Amino acid sequence: MAALSADLNMSVVGSPTTVPLPAIGADIFYRGAVIYIDPTGYVTPAGSAGARIAGICPRQQTTTAAGQLVEILVFGFVWLPIATTLALADVGSVLYMDSADQTDNPVDALNQEDTAIAASDAMVGRILTLGPTAGSSPTQMLIHVGGNYTGSLGTGAGTWS
Protein backbone atom coordinates (compact mmCIF):
# COMPACT_ATOMS: atom_id res chain seq x y z
CA MET A 1 0.00 0.00 0.00
CA ALA A 2 1.63 3.16 -1.15
CA ALA A 3 0.99 6.82 -1.71
CA LEU A 4 0.31 7.90 -5.27
CA SER A 5 3.14 8.97 -7.55
CA ALA A 6 0.99 9.50 -10.67
CA ASP A 7 -2.56 10.40 -11.65
CA LEU A 8 -5.25 7.70 -11.42
CA ASN A 9 -7.68 6.66 -14.11
CA MET A 10 -10.86 8.22 -12.72
CA SER A 11 -14.00 9.78 -14.10
CA VAL A 12 -16.76 11.90 -12.62
CA VAL A 13 -20.46 11.19 -13.19
CA GLY A 14 -22.83 14.15 -13.38
CA SER A 15 -22.14 17.57 -11.93
CA PRO A 16 -19.93 17.37 -8.84
CA THR A 17 -19.40 20.05 -6.23
CA THR A 18 -15.81 21.23 -5.94
CA VAL A 19 -14.40 23.64 -3.38
CA PRO A 20 -11.01 25.40 -3.25
CA LEU A 21 -9.31 24.57 0.06
CA PRO A 22 -5.93 25.73 1.45
CA ALA A 23 -3.00 23.29 1.20
CA ILE A 24 -0.78 22.50 4.17
CA GLY A 25 2.36 23.23 2.13
CA ALA A 26 4.29 22.33 -1.01
CA ASP A 27 2.99 19.08 -2.48
CA ILE A 28 1.57 17.34 -5.54
CA PHE A 29 -2.12 16.44 -5.40
CA TYR A 30 -2.68 13.68 -7.95
CA ARG A 31 -5.87 13.15 -9.94
CA GLY A 32 -8.04 10.60 -8.12
CA ALA A 33 -6.24 11.00 -4.79
CA VAL A 34 -8.09 10.82 -1.50
CA ILE A 35 -7.51 14.22 0.14
CA TYR A 36 -7.54 14.82 3.89
CA ILE A 37 -8.16 17.83 6.11
CA ASP A 38 -5.54 17.74 8.85
CA PRO A 39 -6.29 18.84 12.43
CA THR A 40 -5.07 22.38 11.64
CA GLY A 41 -7.63 22.81 8.82
CA TYR A 42 -5.35 22.44 5.80
CA VAL A 43 -5.73 19.85 3.03
CA THR A 44 -3.06 17.25 2.41
CA PRO A 45 -2.71 14.01 0.45
CA ALA A 46 -1.10 12.39 3.50
CA GLY A 47 -3.46 11.46 6.30
CA SER A 48 -2.38 11.70 9.93
CA ALA A 49 -3.85 11.25 13.39
CA GLY A 50 -7.05 13.26 13.63
CA ALA A 51 -7.33 13.82 9.85
CA ARG A 52 -10.69 13.57 8.09
CA ILE A 53 -11.52 13.11 4.42
CA ALA A 54 -12.01 16.33 2.44
CA GLY A 55 -12.85 14.58 -0.83
CA ILE A 56 -11.22 13.46 -4.07
CA CYS A 57 -8.73 15.45 -6.16
CA PRO A 58 -10.35 15.95 -9.62
CA ARG A 59 -7.11 16.86 -11.45
CA GLN A 60 -3.39 17.02 -10.74
CA GLN A 61 -2.45 20.19 -8.86
CA THR A 62 0.88 21.35 -7.46
CA THR A 63 1.30 23.71 -4.52
CA THR A 64 4.53 25.47 -3.58
CA ALA A 65 3.54 27.01 -0.25
CA ALA A 66 1.08 26.71 2.61
CA GLY A 67 -2.30 28.33 2.02
CA GLN A 68 -2.37 27.89 -1.75
CA LEU A 69 -5.78 26.70 -2.86
CA VAL A 70 -6.44 23.18 -4.15
CA GLU A 71 -9.71 22.28 -5.90
CA ILE A 72 -11.31 19.30 -4.13
CA LEU A 73 -14.39 17.32 -5.21
CA VAL A 74 -16.42 17.32 -1.98
CA PHE A 75 -19.73 15.98 -3.30
CA GLY A 76 -20.52 13.80 -6.29
CA PHE A 77 -20.08 10.44 -7.94
CA VAL A 78 -16.63 9.21 -8.97
CA TRP A 79 -15.33 6.08 -10.71
CA LEU A 80 -12.01 5.08 -9.12
CA PRO A 81 -9.74 2.02 -9.31
CA ILE A 82 -11.22 -0.73 -7.18
CA ALA A 83 -10.10 -1.10 -3.58
CA THR A 84 -8.26 -4.39 -3.16
CA THR A 85 -10.70 -5.78 -0.59
CA LEU A 86 -13.93 -5.19 -2.54
CA ALA A 87 -16.35 -7.72 -3.98
CA LEU A 88 -19.80 -7.29 -5.48
CA ALA A 89 -21.35 -8.19 -2.11
CA ASP A 90 -19.80 -4.98 -0.68
CA VAL A 91 -21.91 -2.64 -2.84
CA GLY A 92 -23.82 -0.25 -0.58
CA SER A 93 -21.29 -0.29 2.24
CA VAL A 94 -19.15 2.57 3.54
CA LEU A 95 -15.65 2.90 2.09
CA TYR A 96 -13.05 4.27 4.50
CA MET A 97 -9.33 4.75 5.10
CA ASP A 98 -7.88 2.96 8.12
CA SER A 99 -6.44 5.48 10.61
CA ALA A 100 -3.29 3.33 10.83
CA ASP A 101 -2.65 3.56 7.07
CA GLN A 102 -4.09 6.78 5.65
CA THR A 103 -2.63 7.08 2.15
CA ASP A 104 -4.00 9.12 -0.74
CA ASN A 105 -4.46 5.95 -2.80
CA PRO A 106 -8.12 4.81 -2.95
CA VAL A 107 -6.93 1.26 -3.70
CA ASP A 108 -5.87 1.14 -0.01
CA ALA A 109 -9.44 1.82 1.19
CA LEU A 110 -11.42 -0.70 3.26
CA ASN A 111 -15.14 -1.26 3.59
CA GLN A 112 -17.38 -1.70 6.61
CA GLU A 113 -18.51 -5.18 5.53
CA ASP A 114 -15.02 -6.71 5.74
CA THR A 115 -13.39 -5.00 8.70
CA ALA A 116 -14.36 -3.21 11.89
CA ILE A 117 -14.40 0.58 11.62
CA ALA A 118 -12.61 2.49 14.39
CA ALA A 119 -13.77 5.92 15.53
CA SER A 120 -10.51 7.42 14.20
CA ASP A 121 -10.92 5.98 10.66
CA ALA A 122 -11.77 8.41 7.85
CA MET A 123 -14.82 7.85 5.64
CA VAL A 124 -14.40 8.24 1.85
CA GLY A 125 -17.98 7.57 0.73
CA ARG A 126 -20.47 4.86 -0.14
CA ILE A 127 -19.83 2.15 -2.73
CA LEU A 128 -22.62 2.36 -5.34
CA THR A 129 -21.48 -0.32 -7.81
CA LEU A 130 -18.47 -2.07 -9.28
CA GLY A 131 -17.68 -2.24 -12.98
CA PRO A 132 -17.27 -3.07 -15.70
CA THR A 133 -19.18 -6.27 -15.05
CA ALA A 134 -19.90 -7.59 -18.55
CA GLY A 135 -17.83 -10.77 -18.66
CA SER A 136 -14.87 -9.47 -16.67
CA SER A 137 -13.68 -8.90 -13.14
CA PRO A 138 -14.49 -5.41 -11.82
CA THR A 139 -11.64 -2.91 -12.05
CA GLN A 140 -13.49 0.27 -11.02
CA MET A 141 -15.76 1.30 -8.13
CA LEU A 142 -18.39 4.03 -8.28
CA ILE A 143 -18.22 6.02 -5.03
CA HIS A 144 -20.73 8.55 -3.69
CA VAL A 145 -18.47 11.17 -2.12
CA GLY A 146 -19.88 13.63 0.41
CA GLY A 147 -23.17 12.00 1.32
CA ASN A 148 -24.65 12.06 4.80
CA TYR A 149 -23.68 9.26 7.17
CA THR A 150 -25.84 9.07 10.27
CA GLY A 151 -24.81 6.91 13.18
CA SER A 152 -21.59 5.68 14.71
CA LEU A 153 -18.75 5.33 12.21
CA GLY A 154 -16.79 3.52 14.91
CA THR A 155 -19.30 0.68 15.08
CA GLY A 156 -20.46 0.74 11.47
CA ALA A 157 -24.01 0.94 12.83
CA GLY A 158 -25.35 3.78 10.75
CA THR A 159 -27.04 4.70 7.50
CA TRP A 160 -25.97 6.62 4.40
CA SER A 161 -28.17 9.04 2.49
The answer on pLDDT for 137 being more than 90 is no
Asked whether residue 49 falls in the same domain as residue 101, the answer is no
* Across 132-151, average pLDDT: 73
Burial 58-76 (b: 16+ CB within 10 A, else e): beebebeeeebebbbbbeb
Q: What is the pLDDT of residues 50-87, one digit of tens each?
A: 788 899 999 999 999 999 999 999 999 999 988 777 88
Q: What is the pLDDT of residues 81-116, one digit of tens each?
A: 887 778 888 888 888 887 777 788 888 887 776 566
CA distances for 157 relative to 128, 141, 151, angstroms: 18, 23, 6
Is 1 among the domain residues? no
Asked whether residue 59 falls in the same domain as residue 82, the answer is no
Query: pLDDT class for 154, splitting at 50, 70, 90?
Result: very low
Of the three residues 58, 73, 88, the one that is the final residue of a domain is 73
Number of domains within the chain: 2
The per-residue pLDDT for 82 is 85
The per-residue pLDDT for 116 is 66
The answer on pLDDT for 152 being more than 60 is no
Inter-residue contact 33 to 93 (CB < 8 Å): no
pTM of the model: 0.85
